[in-house]
Amino acid sequence: MSQPSRVFVPSVTEEDGGTIGLGVFSTEEVAWKVLRKFLSKSHLMSLTRSDIVIWEVDQVGENGMIVLSSMHCRDCPVCKRRTFWIDLETYSAMCTGNLCEAWIEESTLEPGKIDLGWPPTRFLKQAENIEDALSELRIIGAEIEAAGRTPEDTFTSIPEE
């Protein structure tokens, strides 16, 4: 059996600066799956960022490491929980908690536009920039609060198992 030429290493960083490694994987797909599963419970910890790093095997020095993704955790503009992970390199963001699922990403159909949505109400919209997209999601959050919902209330489009 041949050894992989590269490995994928997901990790998260706590508020106090400590890093938690989530494993070493031979495929990017598995590394993302492990990271997403861990981030779905990010509201239970004080996390500030997450990374997936590619390490080239048998490579010495900084050329052996490539940062594939680096995301920062913020309060979600909709559900107000600390589960909104933002990757500023690709203008993508997603609330990883199972209570919300708000998302933002660069449009694949219209370059320069930002798509955003909130799946529980099938809300989809387009914005000119990331600030406008966050503002649109904040409006949804304000409407939910005005309707009497709190961050502890469950609202989701994910069917229960």
pLDDT higher than threshold 80 for residue 2:
no
For the ranges 44-58, 65-79, 87-101, the lowest mean pLDDT is seen at: 87-101
Which of the listed residues 57, 74, 91 is the one where a domain comes to its end?
A: 74
**Residue percentage of the chain with pLDDT more than 90:** 50
Q: Do 91 and 145 share a domain, yes or no? A: yes
Q: Are 9 and 24 in contact (CB under 8 A)?
A: yes
Question: Taking residues 119-139, what's their average pLDDT?
Answer: 90
Single-letter code of the amino acid located at 3: Q
Q: Are 92 and 109 in contact (CB under 8 A)?
A: no
Confidence class for position 158, pLDDT limits 50, 70, 90 = very low
How many domains are contained in the chain?
2
Q: Do 67 and 81 share a domain, yes or no? A: no
3-state DSSP helix/strand/coil % of the chain, to nearest 5: 25, 35, 40
Which of the listed residues 11, 39, 74 is the one where a domain comes to its end?
A: 74
Is there a domain that residue 45 lies in?
A: yes
CA 86 and chain centroid, separation: 6
Report the mean per-residue pLDDT for the chain: 86
pLDDT higher than threshold 90 for residue 126:
yes
pLDDT higher than threshold 50 for residue 157:
no
Q: Which of 94, 95, 91 is nearest to 112 (CA)?
A: 91
Q: Give residue 85's domain range.
A: 75-149
For the ranges 65-74, 92-101, 107-116, 151-160, the lowest mean pLDDT is seen at: 151-160
d(CA 161, CA 22): 25
Confidence class for position 154, pLDDT limits 50, 70, 90 = low
pLDDT higher than threshold 90 for residue 99:
no
pLDDT higher than threshold 90 for residue 34:
yes
Q: Do 5 and 26 share a domain, yes or no? A: yes
Which of the listed residues 59, 74, 89 is the one where a domain comes to its end?
A: 74
Q: Do 81 and 25 share a domain, yes or no? A: no
pLDDT higher than threshold 60 for residue 117:
yes
d(CA 152, CA 161): 20
Is there a domain that residue 156 lies in?
A: no
